Structure 1
Amino acid sequence: MPTIGVKRDLLFKLLGKTYTDEEFQKLCFEFGLELDEVTTEKQMITKEQGEDSQLTSGASEEIIYRIDIPANRYDLLCLEGLVLGLLVFQKKLPFPLFSAVKPSEGDLQKLIIKPDTAKIRPFAVAAILRNIQFDADRYNSFIDLQDKLHQNICRKRTLVAIGTHDFDTIKGPFFYDAKSPKEIKFKPLNQDKEYTGEELMELYSTHAQLKHYLHIIKDSPVYPVITDSNGVVVSLPPIINGDHTKIKLTTKNVFIECTATDLTKAKIVLDTLVCMFSQHCSNKHTVEYCEVINPNGTSVLYPGLRYRTEVVSAKKINKKNRY
């Protein structure tokens, strides 16, 4: 069962009510969650790393709620989804209708999948969030949700890898291909020089987080890579994005791509991301389609954002709840 940490005061502000710890614990229980721990950033670091003045010197004393989330509720793995779920549950907010639209100006952005991707990671989906407004808390939540999804439904990036990019720094159409590691050369996120695919394996072999994902592609004769129409490397999934497309607080338009070995999981991940963060767009709960063109020439618009209606009798449900 995954656990998320949210700032208590920010959570209460968004919920429009201040709770005692006991009151919020009760609300969580009624909703099907569990308030696991009331702590601070400093206490969490101390617990994980031990007493170290260098590690804790900049840590906040702000109260953090650590909340256990059911394994199948990917929409609750961030502050945005948690607040939405609780407000709808309390009937303080109607459930929003999410929609995908074509661009008001210009053509659909395209992601073209090349045949060689079948050798390593055959599927990809994509979408664009337009006119989004980030602040520090929203940005951190956006990054944290990707990490939570990677660790859960994405099975540590083996099934799905997420790439998010400043759309205004690149130009479509985009190409998803698989190339020899020696052919791939770019400046990875937060680095100051270019590396080949081979050199990246060495660079990140001791990296605290990224070293755990290298095995997914390291021994393959080809590595997956996404480029824009100018040849700019957008990402080397499932390892690292390019520094060129790094998202900042000033980013207004976000290009999201998910590469995968499981297309169904990729669709769920993309839908989750765009639904949670489209509420920060100027046109709330709306996301822009991308057209994904498969190697066989067929094309699909993503995200799906499909709704369905289920009719189930209370008698049948009650039978399911008997132990």
Structure 2
Amino acid sequence: MTDAEAPAETAARRTHRTGLIFGGLAYALWGVLPLYFLLLAPSGAFEIVAWRVLFSLVFCALIITLTRSWTVLGRALKQPRLVWTMGLAGVFIFINWQTYVIAATTGHVVEAALGYFINPIVTVLLGVFVLREHLRRLQWVAIGISFLAVVVLAFGYGSLPWISLILAFSFGLYGLIKKRVGPNVDAVTGLTLETAWLAPVAVVQLFVVSGISGLTFGTVSGWHTAGLLAAGAITAVPLLLFAAAARRLPLSVLGLIQFVAPVIQFLVGVFILNEAMPFERWVGFGLVWVALIILTVDMIASGRAPRRRAFEPA
């Protein structure tokens, strides 16, 4: 290595390390979200999600104001196809949020964690059926083991693990749409458009909750109100950290650290919330983990790059 190459190598390593920190923080925050939603009791899942949508929109507006990037949002609004696409993305992320909060507040955190363990498998399947991608042999093996895991878990639950499947497919479809949009929209602009589409739904949802059981916002305590107000930041901050990590890390590394969130969720569900883990669940989770190991090994083997380039930002 020449003297000229040394500073570049050092800068690349620093960028890689920063990306790992940002990515780790993003997934760690997503991992502990169930505890945050439980702290918002007695608010129900539908009220929590409605406030989450509205306060996320407010938070995004504040970020756009502070960064003076209203012109960026304005350019996005002039692209009807992009706006409608983000509306569709909003539908899937709304389904994901609502299902996740219901799971967190009704004692199904472990099942939610399973959904995010399954998500990479769903992403591979979407690549086959939507993007017409061809799978390698190990990928097919991983999908087969995952299917067996769902059968085992269905036997253990007495029914299909619907929460897991809804979370996996809604987030997989959301990711597919975001992938198709690509670099045409940044994280803040994308979330702004998505929550703007969902804002009317959130308002209607609050009216319905108000008529059925009454709203809890501002009626419990100052801390509770602050917690609901913070829902916007809790939603947007991990997304921004993830976007920062994605700009600094290769996709293969980003794919590996994505398992931080469901691992934390699983630990929270089993060891903090004391959710039941009968033998069938352990077998089902074990099969899913084996499938993910196979998928990870295949990803690393097929995308291995020279060692010197491993620290280059994506």
Query: Same fold judged by TM-score > 0.5?
Result: no
TM-score, length basis structure 1: 0.24
TM-score, length basis structure 2: 0.25
Higher relative CO (Cα under 8 Å, sequence separation at least 6) belongs to 2
Name the one with the larger strand percent.
Answer: 1
Name the one with the larger helix percent.
Answer: 2
